Amino acid sequence: MKGIGKLKPNPREDQGNLNRMHVEYIKRISNLYARLGYSPYTWVRNEDTPPWQPLKKPLNKCRVAVSASGGIYKAGQLAFHYKDDDSYRAIPKDVNIKDLRITHFAYDMTDARHDPNCVFPIEPLQRMEKEGFIGKLAPFQYTFMGGIYSSRKVRENLAPAIIDKLLKDEVDALLLVPV
């Protein structure tokens, strides 16, 4: 997928003939925010250990959902807008891939528009449910447009709203798909 940056070898991580690659996107995103009229972006640093909860039952007994930041919405829903949009869209689990639309300001959407599964893997999850690999796919999947300038809006508005929906949907496991 055409992305935010180019993959380049990172000589600092070249250990034992392992040549790891990394994406240089920080400068590009900073420039993008500047073009949109924002003050210089301060990258979020989360010092706390991320919360982790092991599964309490096998995956084939779990209700699974996906939350993706690729700006995916269903035809008929309001498209995301580019200025600090902290809204989300509920996508039904049985959505037809042909009904998905994508809008985002921070990545090249060419591949995602050709195959939304690369940023919102709904068809693989539908197959995993049908084949019994996962117990059930939650009735709704939750998407948003990443690149939200205000981390406060994400922390105080977006994340709690999606968490509330996931809890109401009795989701056991969540697949997070960032772009």
pLDDT band at 145 (very low <50, low <70, confident <90, very high): very high
Torsion angle defined by CA atoms of residues 174, 25, 118 and 173, in that order, rounded to the nearest 10 degrees: -10
Strands (E), 11-139: 21-23, 63-68, 72-74, 88-92, 100-102, 136-137
Please determine, for residue 157, whether its predicted confidence score (pLDDT) is greater than 60: yes
Element (H, E) at 34: helix 26-35
First to last CA, the chain: 10
Any idea which of 3-12, 47-56, 134-143, 154-163 has the lowest mean pLDDT? Answer: 3-12
Percentage of the chain modeled with pLDDT above 70? 85
Pairing of strands 7-9, 21-23: antiparallel
Per-residue pLDDT reduced to its tens digit, 49-61: 877 788 999 999 9
Q: What is the pLDDT of residue 146?
A: 87
pLDDT band at 25 (very low <50, low <70, confident <90, very high): low
Q: What is the rounded CA–CA span in Å between residue 165 and residue 179?
A: 22
Tokens in use for 108? 């090249």
